[in-house]
Protein backbone atom coordinates (compact mmCIF):
# COMPACT_ATOMS: atom_id res chain seq x y z
CA UNK A 1 0.00 0.00 0.00
CA UNK A 2 1.28 3.47 -0.90
CA UNK A 3 1.12 5.97 1.93
CA UNK A 4 -0.08 9.55 1.32
CA UNK A 5 2.81 11.93 0.66
CA UNK A 6 2.42 13.76 3.99
CA UNK A 7 2.18 10.51 5.92
CA UNK A 8 5.23 9.21 4.09
CA UNK A 9 7.18 12.37 4.97
CA UNK A 10 6.51 11.97 8.69
CA UNK A 11 6.97 8.21 8.56
CA UNK A 12 10.35 8.70 6.92
CA UNK A 13 11.33 11.35 9.49
CA UNK A 14 10.63 9.00 12.45
CA UNK A 15 11.75 5.74 10.84
CA UNK A 16 13.60 3.36 13.19
CA UNK A 17 15.46 0.30 11.87
CA UNK A 18 16.64 -2.70 13.94
CA UNK A 19 20.37 -3.41 14.12
CA UNK A 20 19.91 -6.39 16.47
CA UNK A 21 17.48 -7.33 19.22
CA UNK A 22 18.24 -4.30 21.42
CA UNK A 23 19.99 -1.81 19.13
CA UNK A 24 18.34 0.39 16.53
CA UNK A 25 19.26 3.17 14.12
CA UNK A 26 17.47 6.30 12.99
CA UNK A 27 18.24 9.58 11.28
CA UNK A 28 17.24 12.97 12.72
CA UNK A 29 16.11 15.38 10.01
CA UNK A 30 17.22 18.98 9.53
CA UNK A 31 13.72 20.25 8.69
CA UNK A 32 12.58 19.25 12.19
CA UNK A 33 15.25 21.35 13.93
CA UNK A 34 15.32 24.43 16.11
CA UNK A 35 18.48 26.13 14.90
CA UNK A 36 20.94 23.26 14.54
CA UNK A 37 19.33 21.03 17.19
CA UNK A 38 16.52 18.58 16.41
CA UNK A 39 13.31 19.67 18.13
CA UNK A 40 12.73 17.86 21.43
CA UNK A 41 9.16 16.87 20.59
CA UNK A 42 10.23 15.51 17.22
CA UNK A 43 12.98 13.49 18.91
CA UNK A 44 10.34 12.18 21.31
CA UNK A 45 8.21 11.10 18.32
CA UNK A 46 11.18 9.07 17.06
CA UNK A 47 11.54 7.54 20.54
CA UNK A 48 7.81 6.70 20.56
CA UNK A 49 8.36 4.86 17.27
CA UNK A 50 11.42 3.14 18.79
CA UNK A 51 9.20 1.61 21.48
CA UNK A 52 6.73 0.30 18.89
CA UNK A 53 9.56 -1.08 16.77
CA UNK A 54 11.31 -2.76 19.71
CA UNK A 55 8.27 -4.70 20.89
CA UNK A 56 7.25 -5.66 17.35
CA UNK A 57 10.79 -6.79 16.51
CA UNK A 58 12.12 -8.29 19.75
CA UNK A 59 8.93 -9.31 21.61
CA UNK A 60 6.41 -10.02 18.82
CA UNK A 61 4.45 -12.63 20.82
CA UNK A 62 4.38 -10.86 24.19
CA UNK A 63 1.02 -9.19 23.50
CA UNK A 64 -1.86 -9.82 21.13
CA UNK A 65 -1.97 -6.15 20.09
CA UNK A 66 0.66 -3.43 19.50
CA UNK A 67 2.33 -2.30 22.72
CA UNK A 68 1.98 1.48 22.60
CA UNK A 69 3.55 3.96 25.04
CA UNK A 70 1.36 5.16 27.87
CA UNK A 71 4.14 7.08 29.63
CA UNK A 72 7.46 8.59 28.55
CA UNK A 73 10.07 10.20 30.83
CA UNK A 74 13.13 11.62 29.10
CA UNK A 75 16.27 13.51 30.09
CA UNK A 76 17.96 15.50 27.34
CA UNK A 77 21.55 15.26 28.54
CA UNK A 78 23.36 16.84 25.59
CA UNK A 79 22.24 18.55 22.42
CA UNK A 80 21.77 16.35 19.38
CA UNK A 81 22.38 17.24 15.74
CA UNK A 82 20.73 16.36 12.45
CA UNK A 83 22.12 13.06 11.27
CA UNK A 84 22.35 9.37 12.24
CA UNK A 85 21.70 8.15 15.77
CA UNK A 86 21.87 4.80 17.54
CA UNK A 87 19.42 3.59 20.17
CA UNK A 88 20.12 1.00 22.84
CA UNK A 89 17.17 -0.57 24.64
CA UNK A 90 17.23 -2.41 27.99
CA UNK A 91 14.16 -4.40 29.03
CA UNK A 92 13.50 -3.36 32.63
CA UNK A 93 10.18 -5.19 33.05
CA UNK A 94 8.15 -7.38 30.71
CA UNK A 95 4.65 -7.75 32.16
CA UNK A 96 1.20 -9.00 31.24
CA UNK A 97 -0.32 -5.51 31.32
CA UNK A 98 2.61 -3.08 31.20
CA UNK A 99 6.25 -3.30 30.21
CA UNK A 100 9.00 -0.76 30.81
CA UNK A 101 12.17 -0.21 28.82
CA UNK A 102 15.17 2.02 29.39
CA UNK A 103 16.48 3.71 26.26
CA UNK A 104 19.57 5.68 25.36
CA UNK A 105 20.01 7.78 22.24
CA UNK A 106 23.66 7.94 21.22
CA UNK A 107 25.41 10.11 18.68
CA UNK A 108 28.97 11.06 17.86
CA UNK A 109 30.52 13.34 20.45
CA UNK A 110 31.15 16.90 19.30
CA UNK A 111 34.38 16.87 21.31
CA UNK A 112 35.72 13.67 19.78
CA UNK A 113 37.81 13.58 16.61
CA UNK A 114 37.39 9.83 16.00
CA UNK A 115 33.60 9.52 16.14
CA UNK A 116 33.25 8.26 19.71
CA UNK A 117 29.59 7.94 20.71
CA UNK A 118 28.07 9.57 23.76
CA UNK A 119 24.60 9.44 25.28
CA UNK A 120 22.51 12.44 24.25
CA UNK A 121 19.06 11.41 25.54
CA UNK A 122 18.10 8.79 28.12
CA UNK A 123 14.80 7.77 29.60
CA UNK A 124 12.10 5.26 30.42
CA UNK A 125 9.08 4.26 28.37
CA UNK A 126 6.14 2.27 29.73
CA UNK A 127 3.96 0.52 27.16
CA UNK A 128 0.69 -1.34 27.25
CA UNK A 129 -1.46 -2.92 24.53
CA UNK A 130 -5.02 -1.58 24.29
CA UNK A 131 -6.39 -5.09 24.91
CA UNK A 132 -4.75 -5.15 28.35
CA UNK A 133 -6.09 -1.76 29.44
CA UNK A 134 -9.10 -3.03 31.38
CA UNK A 135 -10.47 -1.35 34.49
CA UNK A 136 -12.69 1.41 35.81
CA UNK A 137 -13.16 4.68 33.96
CA UNK A 138 -14.60 7.73 35.69
CA UNK A 139 -14.87 11.45 35.19
CA UNK A 140 -13.37 13.73 37.83
CA UNK A 141 -15.17 16.95 36.95
CA UNK A 142 -11.95 18.53 35.68
CA UNK A 143 -12.34 21.35 33.18
CA UNK A 144 -10.07 23.94 31.65
CA UNK A 145 -9.67 27.03 33.81
CA UNK A 146 -9.92 29.67 32.57
CA UNK A 147 -12.28 28.36 29.88
CA UNK A 148 -11.13 28.05 26.29
CA UNK A 149 -11.64 31.27 24.23
CA UNK A 150 -14.99 31.18 22.47
CA UNK A 151 -15.92 30.51 18.87
CA UNK A 152 -19.10 30.93 16.85
CA UNK A 153 -20.42 27.41 17.39
CA UNK A 154 -22.99 26.03 19.79
CA UNK A 155 -22.27 26.97 23.42
CA UNK A 156 -19.28 29.03 22.26
CA UNK A 157 -17.44 26.09 20.72
CA UNK A 158 -14.96 26.82 17.96
CA UNK A 159 -16.23 26.11 14.43
CA UNK A 160 -13.06 24.38 13.24
CA UNK A 161 -14.03 24.02 9.54
CA UNK A 162 -14.77 27.77 9.39
CA UNK A 163 -11.55 28.53 11.25
CA UNK A 164 -9.58 26.54 8.68
CA UNK A 165 -11.41 27.90 5.63
CA UNK A 166 -11.46 31.58 6.59
CA UNK A 167 -8.65 31.85 9.14
CA UNK A 168 -11.06 33.27 11.71
CA UNK A 169 -13.85 32.12 14.03
CA UNK A 170 -15.00 34.04 17.08
CA UNK A 171 -11.94 34.94 19.14
CA UNK A 172 -9.73 32.59 17.09
CA UNK A 173 -7.46 33.49 14.14
CA UNK A 174 -4.80 31.83 12.00
CA UNK A 175 -1.30 32.49 13.39
CA UNK A 176 2.07 32.69 11.70
CA UNK A 177 4.75 31.38 14.07
CA UNK A 178 7.68 33.79 14.42
CA UNK A 179 11.32 33.05 13.59
CA UNK A 180 10.64 30.12 11.28
CA UNK A 181 14.15 30.35 9.81
CA UNK A 182 15.47 29.48 13.27
CA UNK A 183 12.51 27.41 14.53
CA UNK A 184 12.04 25.37 11.35
CA UNK A 185 10.11 22.63 13.14
CA UNK A 186 7.20 25.07 13.57
CA UNK A 187 6.57 24.81 9.82
CA UNK A 188 5.32 21.26 10.37
CA UNK A 189 1.99 22.39 11.80
CA UNK A 190 -0.78 24.89 11.08
CA UNK A 191 -1.55 26.97 14.13
CA UNK A 192 -4.59 28.92 15.38
CA UNK A 193 -4.93 30.95 18.56
CA UNK A 194 -7.01 33.64 20.27
CA UNK A 195 -6.69 37.10 18.71
CA UNK A 196 -6.15 38.69 22.10
CA UNK A 197 -4.33 37.26 25.10
CA UNK A 198 -5.23 40.19 27.35
CA UNK A 199 -5.80 38.99 30.89
CA UNK A 200 -4.23 35.57 30.17
CA UNK A 201 -0.47 36.25 30.25
CA UNK A 202 0.52 32.88 31.73
CA UNK A 203 -1.76 30.81 29.49
CA UNK A 204 -1.46 30.00 25.79
CA UNK A 205 -4.30 28.30 23.90
CA UNK A 206 -3.91 26.78 20.44
CA UNK A 207 -5.70 24.59 17.93
CA UNK A 208 -3.35 22.86 15.52
CA UNK A 209 -3.47 20.84 12.29
CA UNK A 210 -0.54 18.61 11.41
CA UNK A 211 1.19 19.42 8.11
CA UNK A 212 4.50 17.52 7.79
CA UNK A 213 6.26 18.47 4.60
CA UNK A 214 3.75 21.29 4.10
CA UNK A 215 0.77 19.02 3.40
CA UNK A 216 -2.31 20.40 5.14
CA UNK A 217 -4.18 17.12 4.59
CA UNK A 218 -2.12 15.20 7.15
CA UNK A 219 -3.58 14.03 10.44
CA UNK A 220 -2.33 13.78 13.98
CA UNK A 221 -1.10 10.29 14.89
CA UNK A 222 -0.07 8.98 18.29
CA UNK A 223 3.59 9.59 17.44
CA UNK A 224 2.77 13.12 16.33
CA UNK A 225 1.12 13.83 19.71
CA UNK A 226 4.61 13.55 21.22
CA UNK A 227 5.74 16.28 18.82
CA UNK A 228 2.78 18.50 19.69
CA UNK A 229 3.47 18.15 23.42
CA UNK A 230 6.63 20.20 22.86
CA UNK A 231 5.33 22.53 20.12
CA UNK A 232 3.99 25.90 21.29
CA UNK A 233 5.63 28.76 19.36
CA UNK A 234 3.25 31.43 20.64
CA UNK A 235 4.02 30.49 24.25
CA UNK A 236 7.69 30.96 23.41
CA UNK A 237 6.84 34.43 22.10
CA UNK A 238 5.65 35.29 25.60
CA UNK A 239 8.87 33.89 27.04
CA UNK A 240 10.82 35.89 24.42
CA UNK A 241 9.20 39.08 25.67
CA UNK A 242 9.88 38.27 29.32
CA UNK A 243 13.47 37.26 28.59
CA UNK A 244 14.10 40.38 26.51
CA UNK A 245 12.75 42.60 29.27
CA UNK A 246 14.71 40.80 31.97
CA UNK A 247 17.95 40.97 29.97
CA UNK A 248 17.48 44.59 28.94
CA UNK A 249 17.31 43.78 25.21
CA UNK A 250 15.17 45.85 22.89
CA UNK A 251 11.81 44.17 22.31
CA UNK A 252 11.31 45.88 18.95
CA UNK A 253 14.06 43.69 17.48
CA UNK A 254 12.15 40.49 18.18
CA UNK A 255 10.80 40.25 14.64
CA UNK A 256 14.23 40.31 13.06
CA UNK A 257 15.63 37.10 14.50
CA UNK A 258 15.21 34.79 17.44
CA UNK A 259 17.18 36.02 20.44
CA UNK A 260 16.52 33.06 22.72
CA UNK A 261 16.60 29.27 22.61
CA UNK A 262 14.60 27.07 25.00
CA UNK A 263 16.24 23.62 25.11
CA UNK A 264 14.38 20.86 26.92
CA UNK A 265 16.08 19.40 30.01
CA UNK A 266 13.42 16.86 31.01
CA UNK A 267 10.15 15.91 29.30
CA UNK A 268 7.37 13.73 30.71
CA UNK A 269 4.28 12.70 28.76
CA UNK A 270 1.25 10.79 30.06
CA UNK A 271 -0.75 9.44 27.09
CA UNK A 272 -4.38 9.29 28.18
CA UNK A 273 -6.16 8.36 24.95
CA UNK A 274 -5.02 6.53 21.82
CA UNK A 275 -5.98 8.21 18.59
CA UNK A 276 -7.78 6.21 15.88
CA UNK A 277 -5.62 4.52 13.25
CA UNK A 278 -6.66 7.10 10.66
CA UNK A 279 -5.57 9.94 12.97
CA UNK A 280 -7.45 13.16 13.73
CA UNK A 281 -7.42 16.50 11.96
CA UNK A 282 -7.43 18.84 14.97
CA UNK A 283 -5.90 18.85 18.43
CA UNK A 284 -6.11 21.56 21.07
CA UNK A 285 -3.29 22.45 23.47
CA UNK A 286 -3.15 24.62 26.56
CA UNK A 287 0.31 25.66 27.69
CA UNK A 288 1.09 27.43 30.94
CA UNK A 289 4.22 28.47 32.80
CA UNK A 290 4.31 29.17 36.52
CA UNK A 291 7.85 30.44 37.23
CA UNK A 292 10.87 31.53 35.21
CA UNK A 293 13.86 31.73 37.52
CA UNK A 294 17.64 31.71 37.03
CA UNK A 295 17.30 30.84 33.34
CA UNK A 296 15.06 27.83 33.98
CA UNK A 297 11.36 27.52 33.24
CA UNK A 298 8.55 25.02 33.73
CA UNK A 299 6.04 24.19 31.01
CA UNK A 300 2.77 22.29 31.45
CA UNK A 301 0.78 21.14 28.43
CA UNK A 302 -2.71 19.67 28.19
CA UNK A 303 -3.78 18.21 24.83
CA UNK A 304 -7.46 17.64 24.05
CA UNK A 305 -9.35 16.37 21.01
CA UNK A 306 -12.41 17.94 19.36
CA UNK A 307 -14.71 16.16 21.82
CA UNK A 308 -12.87 17.78 24.74
CA UNK A 309 -11.34 14.47 25.89
CA UNK A 310 -7.80 14.55 27.26
CA UNK A 311 -5.35 12.94 24.83
CA UNK A 312 -2.10 13.64 26.67
CA UNK A 313 -0.62 15.58 29.59
CA UNK A 314 2.96 16.82 29.59
CA UNK A 315 5.35 18.57 31.92
CA UNK A 316 8.86 19.70 31.19
CA UNK A 317 11.82 21.63 32.51
CA UNK A 318 13.46 23.95 30.01
CA UNK A 319 16.31 26.43 29.92
CA UNK A 320 16.30 30.00 28.61
CA UNK A 321 19.51 30.52 26.65
CA UNK A 322 20.83 32.90 24.05
CA UNK A 323 20.08 31.70 20.51
CA UNK A 324 23.80 32.12 19.82
CA UNK A 325 24.28 28.85 21.75
CA UNK A 326 22.39 27.09 18.95
CA UNK A 327 23.88 28.42 15.72
CA UNK A 328 26.53 27.45 13.20
CA UNK A 329 27.19 24.29 11.21
CA UNK A 330 26.82 21.04 13.12
CA UNK A 331 26.56 17.62 11.56
CA UNK A 332 27.31 14.22 13.01
CA UNK A 333 29.15 11.31 11.45
CA UNK A 334 28.81 7.68 12.41
- DSSP codes of every residue in 310-330: EEEEEEEEEE-EEGGGG-S--
Residue 18 exposure: Cα atoms within 13 Å on the Cβ side: 12
Domains of the chain: 5-130 (2.40.160.210), 154-326 (3.10.129.10)
Express each pLDDT in 200-228 by its tens digit.
Answer: 557 899 999 999 998 878 999 999 999 99
DSSP classification of residue 6? H
Q: What is the mean pLDDT of residues 287-297?
A: 92
Say how many Å lie between the first and final Cα of the chain, rounded. 32
Indicate the pTM of the whole model.
Answer: 0.92
Of the pLDDT bands very low, low, confident and very high (cuts 50, 70, 90), residue 111 is confident
Q: Is 113 helix (H, G, I), strand (E, B) or coil?
A: coil
The whole-angstrom separation of Cα 105 and Cα 91 is 15
Q: Contact 167/149 with Cβ under 8 angstroms?
A: no
The whole-angstrom separation of Cα 153 and Cα 13 is 36
Express each pLDDT in 165-205 by its tens digit.
Answer: 999 999 999 999 888 998 999 999 999 999 876 555 578 99
Express each pLDDT in 32-52 by its tens digit.
Answer: 999 999 999 999 999 999 999
Phi, psi of 164 (to 5 degrees): -70, -45
Amino acid sequence: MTLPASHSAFEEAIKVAPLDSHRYSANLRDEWCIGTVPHGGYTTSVIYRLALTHFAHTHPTLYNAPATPISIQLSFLRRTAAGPITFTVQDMKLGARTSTIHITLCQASEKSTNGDLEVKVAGYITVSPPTAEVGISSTTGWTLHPPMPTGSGLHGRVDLPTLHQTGRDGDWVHLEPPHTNFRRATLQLELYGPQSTSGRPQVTDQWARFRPGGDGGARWSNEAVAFLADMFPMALTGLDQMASKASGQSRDSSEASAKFWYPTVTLNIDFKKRLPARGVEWLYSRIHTKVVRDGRTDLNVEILDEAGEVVALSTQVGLVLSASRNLGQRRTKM
